[in-house]
Amino acid sequence: QVQLQESGPGLVKPSQTLSLTCTVSGDSISRGGYYWNWIRQHPGKGLEWIGNIYYSGSTDYSPSLKSRVTISVDTSKNQFSLILRSVTAADTAVYYCARLSNVGGYWGQGTLVTVSS
Amino acid sequence: SHYLTQPPSVSVSPGQTASITCSGDRLGDEFACWYQQKPGQSPVLVIYRDNKRPSGIPERFSGSNSENTATLTISGAQAMDEADYYCQAWDSSSTVIFGGGTKLTVL
């Protein structure tokens, strides 16, 4: 069973950088065949795709966040990470990591990140 | 399909059939999937590849996708099916798009 777990600070100050890591178990990122995604959900709102990465390091980002986002992968640790720069209160959300494909999706439990001074 | 449009809310009486639509330009040319999300929980896949049910998902959940519209159908809706439902598709080989979500009320 594939499991994903987000980790990182729950509180980030405005203008600073949000950094989260997703640890994968039950599958190997380097096996290929899947895209490893970051998705967020503002309080009471819908799902917003942030971007994803393939095991090769190829990335794709939401146009609305592309200028502030970097997603990277560490296949030796079976982890992938999210960096979101210059955060504001509008970036307060639950952040999910997920393995998505045409044959299914596995999601982490999500982690609430609050942007506040 | 750059955007996927869902109705904000759908209501159904217990035991009746609920249909939730997801519209997007040429959506039928791609695979669509559906997620169920209950308050405080992560989304759970209920339909993938338009009409496939993952293991453990009740048979009352079914899906279809044709032309510009994908549809999630819940036959004989139960109180436990009350949740938010999101459609999801791929806008290219790697770009993910979500619908805005539909709140299903069973009353």
B38 contacts chain A (CB < 8 A)? no
Q: Is the pLDDT of residue B1 over 60?
A: no
Rounded Cα gap, residues B58 and B39, in angstroms: 20
Chain A positions touching B98 (Cβ under 8 A) are: 39, 46-49
Residue with tokens 């209920």: B46
Q: Which parts of chain A have pLDDT scores under 50?
A: none
CB contact under 8 A, A35 and B35: no
Interatomic CA distance for residues A65 and A35, integer angstroms? 18
- Per-residue model confidence as pLDDT tens digits over A53-67: 998 999 999 999 999
Residue A36 has a pLDDT of 97
What are B18-52's pLDDT values in tens digits?
999 999 999 999 999 999 999 999 999 999 999 99
CB contact under 8 A, B94 and A108: no
Q: What is the DSSP string of chain A?
A: --EEEEES-SEE-TTS-EEEEEEEESS-GGG-S-EEEEEEE-TTS-EEEEEEE-TTS-EEE-TTTGGGEEEEEETTTTEEEEEE-S--GGG-EEEEEEEEETTEEEE---EEEEE--
Question: Mutation test of the interface with chain B: which of A53, A102, A106, choosing the one with the most B Cβ atoms within 10 A?
Answer: A102
Which of A6, A41, A47, A112 best probes binding to B when mutated, by most B CB atoms within 10 angstroms? A47
Task: Using the predicted structure, report yes or no on whether residue B94 has a pLDDT greater than 90.
Answer: no
pLDDT computed for residue B93 by the predictor: 75
B27 and B72 Cβ atoms separated by less than 8 Å: no
Predicted confidence at residue A104, as pLDDT, reads 80
Q: In this complex, is the C-beta atom of B73 within 8 Å of any C-beta atom belonging to chain A?
A: no
Is some CB atom of chain B closer than 8 A to the CB atom of A52? yes
Burial of A105 (0-12, 13-18, 19+ CB in 10 A): buried
